[in-house]
Chains A and B, each alone.
Chain A
Amino acid sequence: MFRRRFLIQTAVMPAIAAVMTACGCRGKQVAHVLKEDDGDMVGSHTAGAETWKPLIEESVGKLLARQCPDIHPVSMSNDDGPAKKRVCFMGVENKSAEELGDSREQIYDLIDTLISESEQFQLVSKRYVDAGLKECDLRPDELFVPANQRMFGSAMEKMEQPINYLLFAKVTSLSTHSNGDSQRDYQLVLELVDTETGDYDKESATIRKGYHKSRLSKFKHY
């Protein structure tokens, strides 16, 4: 009896488990269009729409709000209102522990769109920015050197795209690990540099995310 029980436990039980589970069906991929009020899916391994969208909205919103009283246009473009300040968005620098991959362009466009919708600013097209950088043989991070900035400014003017501000976006992260689980704080920093005075304004937004191997481990931490 003892031997039989051993045999059953060691051989038959895994066999039954294997056969039962093997009988399941393979999943079939489906897709659906999200409604306006549907929430964003939460990325299980990396940041996605649920992280970047609110980060962008918050940081851009804060930056625009702070800039609003400081804008004193010196000229009137037409009767409709003050001339918009021309901003040159230099792109998104990734200093986080996650690759941005195809999100980079989307982040760029979201920032671009939000700023363009504002009353105070008007963004210079990315194509002109790229052309200007290429002509001056410069990288965005080299524009903090005044001589480079001047060179870039005059190159943009030559293309009839004068600029008043440079906008830099940087993504950073802070990772905390605990027994297989982790917390990652994502920060988006926006820096607006006045090309005439060199003054700059900085705004940031942070979102914290927890990554867990299972629901149970999530429960353990939160």
Chain B
Amino acid sequence: MGRTTARWFPRHTQFMLLLSLTFDHSPRPGQPSRMLWMAGCVIVAGLCGCASHVNRVVSIRNNFYAGHLEEARAQAQDMRDKHKADRDVFDLDRAMIELCAGHPKESERILRRVRDDFDLYEQKSAKEFAASLLTDDTKIAYEGEDHEKILVRTFLAISNLMHDGGDAEAYALQIGEKQQELAEKHLKKLEENTPDGEPAPEAPELPQVALGPYVRAMLSEESSLDTNEVVRAREMVVSYVPEFRDGARDLERAVGDTACAPDHGIIYLFTMVGRGPIKEESNDVPTQVSLLIADQIISAVGEQTLPPTIAPVKVAKVVQPPNRINSVSASIDGDQMGTTATLVDVGKLAEAHYYSRYHEVLAMAVARRTIKKAAVYLAKEKVQAQSNPFADFALTVGGIAWEASEAADTRGWSLLPEKIQVLRMEVPVGTRTLKLQAADSQGPFGAPEIVSIEVQEQRNTYVLANLPDDHVVGQVLVSSQYTE
């Protein structure tokens, strides 16, 4: 298993420290290689990265979870301005901050742009690929992990529901489209990475996000125009997430003739529960599949095959932190309505998608290491290092530093919840008081949050709350109360 590495200094500082400790800078007459390694230092230092993404967002996460949205917003904006190449990944966090701060329209606008950028970055850039082989994966424009591409559309649907709802169905369809596209792409890659003559391994079962059909069912049920569509969508939810507690009950209602009772309306409570997955840096031993893929990468840039290596390489790993909160308990006017049920397990989704392409991540790291080693050997041959111990030493240390400067690509959506949960409540029309409270296996805990909701006859009202632990972060959004 991999080991998580701690880092106290920025990467380039580590490197310069190492150099200053290693080399004697006093001028030596007739030392032609000095300029060479100094130039090398400049190049390598220029190629080195700084603190990894996961370290950059620590403060944003802390402020966000503490409910200090203004500070989190300012920090995310600041980071976005500082690291323009990674603006999309900071924008994902900004979108979450805006959503929780009660600005779903702004959140939707940001997410829409990120979605389009991610689609664009799916096309590989030769320039970025070459740069990443010399440095690390952070030089490649961040196209988003597969689960993030699906979740961007998921949160677009949620954001739209909270302010207008006119495009929620379109976003719901986009979730399904993207899932299908990614599954096809995954299958194609598996076939490509299988040696000739061998049967392609079966694609792993990836969790399906059921929020798309859930939203479509919800909207169709409200309009009462197409009952077949409601049944189809509810069936889809059950087939995507069989463990969804309310799936069977929803389907039963759709099949039967049990529409919303007269003088009643529906409240759909969406909750973002727990702190979601993040990426951490880790050292891992290359797997056989990853070596095979790395071999293909090396073969693509030269005619040689990959020398065998089992030394650990730096990679990012998706980690789901433990959460106490299980669900959210809801009561209306003092009457207990139940707890929210998991519709999208973001943590499991992120892990499943990431580890389905983990061999590729490892393969890139192995290929990069091979190329860096090859570059150092080439430089040694050029300066005839075998007869120049100083140059040999300098290049060896430089090579080590070059490899050490490599950072795992920990970029990712850091403010995701662990789960997206829902609860459908049929309540009498009028002004109702909704009380929300975090719950674990023992029952409700933490600070309750109370909101007033105007329930309209035969209408849906959407409520969104974010509870990363024992309290609501930001505002509880109510669709019917949204004003620009």
Residues of A at under 8 Å CB distance from B?
A: 3-15, 17-18, 21-22, 45, 93-101, 104, 137, 139, 141, 175, 177, 213-214
Contact = CB atoms under 8 A, between A and B. Distances in A.
A6 B304 contact: yes
Interface string B264-308: 000000000000000000000000000000000010011110000
Given A6-B302, A9-B303, A14-B134, A177 B181 contact: yes
Contact of B130 (A17, A94, A141): A17
Contacts of B177: 97, 175
A121 B123 CA distance: 49
Given A97-B174, A98-B170, A137-B456, A11 B126 contact: no
Contact of A99 (B112, B298, B371, B374): B112
Contacts of A12: 375, 378
5 contacts: A11-B372, A14-B371, A94-B166, A99-B170, A101-B112
Contacts of B225: 141
Contacts of A45: 116, 119
B256 to A, nearest CB: 22
Interface string B293-326: 0000010011110000000000000000000000
Contacts of B377: 3, 7
Interface in B99-158: 112, 116, 119, 123, 126-127, 130-131, 133-134, 156
Contact of B167 (A10, A14, A101, A175): A101
Q: Which of A10, A11, A12, A213 counts the most chain B CB atoms within 10 A?
A: A10
B104 to A, nearest CB: 13
B455 to A, nearest CB: 12
B160 A99 contact: yes
B374 A100 contact: no
Contacts of A177: 181
Nearest to A20: B127
Contacts of A6: 302-304, 374
A10 to B, nearest CB: 4
Contact of A4 (B131, B156, B381): B381
A100 B166 contact: yes
Contacts of A97: 170, 173-174, 177
A27 B134 CA distance: 24
B181 A7 contact: no
B134 A99 contact: no
Given A97-B173, A97-B174, 14 more contacts: A6-B304, A7-B378, A10-B304, A10-B370, A10-B371, A10-B375, A14-B134, A15-B134, A21-B126, A98-B174, A99-B170, A104-B166, A137-B456, A214-B123
Contacts of A9: 301-304
B130 A15 contact: yes
A17 B119 contact: no
A200 to B, nearest CB: 15
Nearest to B122: A213
Contact of A18 (B112, B131, B169, B302): B131
B116 A14 contact: no
B384 interface: no
Interface in B355-376: 370-372, 374-375
B127 A18 contact: yes
B453 to A, nearest CB: 16
A177 B133 CA distance: 33
Contacts of A17: 126-127, 130
A94 B304 contact: no
B431 interface: no
A63 B206 CA distance: 48
B338 to A, nearest CB: 28
Cβ-closest 3 pairs across A and B: A9-B302, A11-B375, A99-B167
Nearest to A13: B301
Nearest to B125: A21
B170 A100 contact: yes
Interface in B367-398: 370-372, 374-375, 377-378, 381
Given A8-B378, A10-B304, A11-B375, A99 B171 contact: yes
B239 interface: no
Nearest to B156: A99
A94 B130 CA distance: 43
B375 A7 contact: yes
Interface string B219-250: 00001010000000000000000000000000
A10 B302 contact: yes
